[in-house]
Amino acid sequence: MALDEFGLIARYFQNVGASRHDVALGVGDDGAVLVPPPGEELVAVTDTLVEGVHFPRGSSARSVGHRALAVNLSDLAAMGAQPAWVLLALTLPAVDEPWLQEFAAGFSDLAQRHGVRLVGGDTTSGPLSVTVHALGFTRPGAHLRRAGGSPGDWLFVSGSPGDSTFGLSLEQGTASVADVDDDRTLRDRFLFPTPRVELGRRLVGVASACIDVSDGLGGDLAKLASASGCGAQIGIEYLPISGALWRNVSHDDAVRCALTGGEDFELLFSVPESRVDAVAQVVADTGVACAEIGRLESAPGVRVNRKGIVTEFSHSGFDHFRVMPTR
Ligand code: ADP
Ligand code: MG
């Protein structure tokens, strides 16, 4: 007999993530009852993944579960918040237990890793879509924003942007690479992105502005710069492109992936000159590499410097399903 909605919730979503003392009432009633730490502020985010739009049809359920949570934790990371509680609104075309098992495992593994608890949600039937709502804490006023950068501030980005978009092309079969290790690494950067939660927390008091890179480095930099009331210039030679990407696409395609590919879930942040030294300590403590890629400037817009030739960057960052050329 097919599992009914209550059986399904009890089996897959009753006990997901870390157990927390600040959950007075979790999954099972009409609402969750949560106990925020006294004096802290709540940061709330939500993000939806739709099959065929944010992940290819037939994606591994474990990856879908991981990514649905990761994209939300990444938003909290960009705010400098400590994640605590999440809710999950799941729309499923059918009750497919092996799929649910894998989905819940992907979600739960990442939730455990960040000490986050699934405290409620909704389960409906329809085309596959996953909405997560996440809540985290910051000390009063101690959050990061897109606004706050000033001309002259240095720009940094974590990790190696560009891998994820190329990994998606591999998943879609529109690109291929010969080396099996590079193939795995690049695919996993799309399938299992790492939200930079600890980095975001540590950047509070260091960064002047921060955004997570979900729609492409160039486009998201334009958002940060414009929210900060300035512009920006970055140097192509400073982009932290991974060895796996360099080895498998042309120089131009690697740069294109890094600047315009989406779904990296890295943090892009500005730091005043007086605090740049603190970034090295944050990198040492978190083990997350951060590359200095340019500076904020007073003139609006984003400019790209390639060997001394400066051009205006213009691109609508969201372009997931474009075919990536291979060498
Ligand atoms: P209601 O009919 O009052 O909306 P539901 O039957 O939808 O209640 O949900 C019952 C309980 O299960 C609630 O606590 C709800 O938060 C939780 N829940 C439902 N779906 C999910 C899900 N996908 N993940 C986590 N909790 C869920
Ligand atoms: Mg309901």
pLDDT digits 0-9 by tens, 255-274: 999 999 989 999 999 999 99
Q: Which ligand is nearest to the CA of 120?
A: 1
Looking at residue 2, what is its pLDDT?
64
Q: Which ligand is nearest to the CA of 90?
A: 1
Average pLDDT, whole number, for the chain?
Answer: 94
89 CA distance to ligand 2 middle (Å): 9
The answer to whether 153 and 208 are in contact (CB under 8 A) is yes
Does ligand 1 lie within 6 Å of residue 254's CB atom?
A: no
Strands 23-25 and 117-125: unpaired
* β-bridge partners, 259: none
Does ligand 1 lie within 6 Å of residue 28's CB atom?
A: yes
For ligand 1, atom 18, the nearest C-alpha belongs to 121
Distance of CA 317 to CAs 71, 222, 252, 305, Å? Answer: 17, 10, 17, 19
pTM of the complete model: 0.94
Q: Which atom of ligand 1 is nearest to the CA of 122?
A: 20
Closest Cα to residue 153, out of 53, 75, 101, 227?
Answer: 227
126 CA distance to ligand 2 middle (Å): 14
pLDDT band at 91 (very low <50, low <70, confident <90, very high): very high
Asked whether the predicted pLDDT for residue 1 surpasses 80, the reply is no
The answer to whether 164 and 190 are in contact (CB under 8 A) is yes
Instruction: Please state the rounded mean pLDDT for residues 189-209.
Output: 98
φ/ψ of residue 204, rounded to 5: -65, 125
pLDDT band at 323 (very low <50, low <70, confident <90, very high): very low
For ligand 1, atom 16, the nearest C-alpha belongs to 120
Give the model confidence (pLDDT) of 219-250 as tens digits: 999 999 999 999 999 999 999 999 999 999 99
For ligand 1, atom 10, the nearest C-alpha belongs to 28
Asked whether the predicted pLDDT for residue 211 surpasses 60, the reply is yes
67 CA distance to ligand 1 middle (Å): 21
Does ligand 1 lie within 6 Å of residue 300's CB atom?
A: no
> What is the number of helices (H) and of strands (E) in the chain?
10, 13
The answer to whether 81 and 115 are in contact (CB under 8 A) is no
Looking at residue 48, what is its pLDDT?
97
Burial of 268 (0-12, 13-18, 19+ CB in 10 A): buried
Distance of CA 299 to CAs 92, 152, 304, 312, Å? Answer: 48, 11, 13, 11
Burial of 140 (0-12, 13-18, 19+ CB in 10 A): exposed
Asked whether the predicted pLDDT for residue 180 surpasses 60, the reply is yes
Range with lowest mean pLDDT among 10-14, 163-167, 313-317 = 313-317
Pocket test for ligand 1, best of 6, 8, 9, 100 (most atoms within 8 A of CB): 9
CA distance 208 to 155: 10
What are the structure tokens assigned to 136, written together? 């985290």
31 CA distance to ligand 1 middle (Å): 8
